[in-house]
């Protein structure tokens, strides 16, 4: 039972709006893969997947246990595991999850398992490195890759894919187009040696916006589903899905010269009023947001975070705000709030969202 009073609300209408925004940019036959890894970018992967399962074609997670959790929650759609580990192959297959094959070691291990267990046309996805240099097979290994797959009668290539390195950066347009062209060449080589044509996909959220000519068979939407387009203009067209709320636990009247919090980091210059909120750095609120770098919202007014952020609490200045103990507090409510937190903590929206502790209760609203 989770009795933490802070709550992360996931806005279902915003999720659907964002999905439809990208759908409108796609050809009618282009499939959509929704990325729900990392607890649905810090929200709730199970609730998000349940909400989206009749609206998209595929799901993707990073690790096998994430896919297993989706299966246990009743999700029956195809699920691509982007970073499977060899020791989890049995767990992956038992949950009907589809592995990304990104190197020869994983390929050999999966083919051995498939042959030993007499799997039937088990779907695998070949990931090729075209410039991100993170995970992926190399194009010059295609003959060897295909020869090993042809030796097995138990797997089938479901898709061929790659990942763009800088699709949001207009200064890297030449590099991105080169990635897309290299990927198309890889696909052509593979198709020549197969009697069927696996799906192909390379575009992420920013890729859908900036390189619509490379939709191929499917696109992968991640951060865009949750309200961010890696571009100010695109983000303005999306709706924020994550709303983090708490309450005022206690209000203090502070006299001039009194201090607040650890290390006496805040010193009152006059008579002031402070409030304590039950959320802290153990919940994903960076210590960098303390000492008036960050704010929360009470009754549509911004209240600065004062002193040092504690593990379970923050203190805020409410001197000019009419409020009382028990009143609702928004830690963040809009994209602007989240981007402000990202700026002040020298990071990106992804990290703000995924840093929210799992002890915070999640609720999907519609």
Convert 97-126 to b/e letters by CB count within 10 Å (16 or more is b).
Answer: bbbbbbeeebbebbbebbeeeebeebbbbb
Q: Which two tokens stand for residue 276?
A: 């304590």
| 269 catalytic per annotation | no
Catalytic hit among 21, 37, 122, 245: 37
Contact 315, 262 (CB under 8 A): no
Intra-chain end-to-end CA distance of the chain, in Å: 23
| 37 catalytic per annotation | yes
For residue 40, give Cα distances in angstroms to 34, 162, 292, 320: 9, 21, 30, 37
State how far Cα 81 lies from the chain centre.
14
290 contacts: CB under 8 Å, gap ≥ 6: 261, 265, 305, 306, 307, 308, 309, 314
Instruction: Count the neighbouring beta carbons within 10 Å of the beta carbon of residue 175.
Output: 14
Catalytic hit among 55, 153, 185, 262: 262
Catalytic residues: 37, 262
């Amino acid at each position: 039972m989770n009795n933490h009073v802070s709550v992360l609300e996931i806005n279902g209408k915003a999720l659907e709006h964002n999905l439809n925004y990208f759908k409108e940019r796609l050809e009618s036959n282009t499939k959509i893969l929704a990325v729900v890894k990392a607890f649905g970018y810090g929200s709730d992967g199970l609730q998000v997947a349940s909400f989206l399962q009749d609206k998209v074609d595929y799901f993707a997670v990073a690790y096998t246990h994430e896919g297993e959790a989706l299966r246990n929650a009743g999700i029956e759609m195809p699920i691509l595991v982007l970073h499977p580990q060899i020791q989890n192959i049995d767990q992956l297959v038992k949950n009907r999850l589809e592995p990304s094959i990104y190197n020869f070691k994983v390929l050999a291990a999966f083919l051995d398992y498939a042959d030993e267990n007499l799997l039937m046309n088990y779907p695998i996805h070949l990931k090729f490195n075209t410039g991100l240099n993170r995970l992926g097979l190399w194009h010059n290994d295609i003959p060897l890759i295909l020869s090993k797959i042809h030796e097995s009668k138990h797997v089938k290539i479901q898709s061929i894919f790659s990942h763009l390195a800088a699709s949001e950066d207009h200064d890297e347009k030449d590099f991105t187009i080169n990635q897309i062209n290299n990927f198309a060449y890889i696909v052509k080589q593979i198709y020549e040696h197969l009697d069927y044509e696996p799906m192909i996909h390379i575009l992420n959220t920013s890729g859908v916006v900036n390189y619509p000519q490379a939709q191929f068979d499917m696109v992968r939407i991640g951060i865009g589903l949750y309200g961010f387009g890696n571009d100010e203009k695109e983000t303005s067209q999306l709706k924020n899905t994550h709303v983090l709320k708490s309450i005022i636990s206690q209000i203090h009247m502070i006299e001039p010269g009194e201090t607040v919090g650890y290390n006496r980091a805040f010193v009152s210059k006059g008579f002031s009023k402070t409030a304590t909120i039950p959320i802290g750095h153990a919940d994903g609120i960076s210590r960098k947001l303390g000492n008036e770098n960050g704010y929360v919202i009470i009754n549509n007014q911004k209240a600065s975070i004062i002193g040092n952020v504690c593990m379970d609490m923050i203190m805020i200045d409410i001197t000019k705000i009419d409020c009382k103990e028990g009143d609702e507090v928004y830690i963040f409510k809009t994209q602007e709030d989240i981007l402000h937190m990202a700026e002040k903590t020298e990071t990106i929206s992804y990290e703000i969202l995924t840093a929210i502790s799992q002890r915070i209760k999640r609720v999907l609203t519609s």
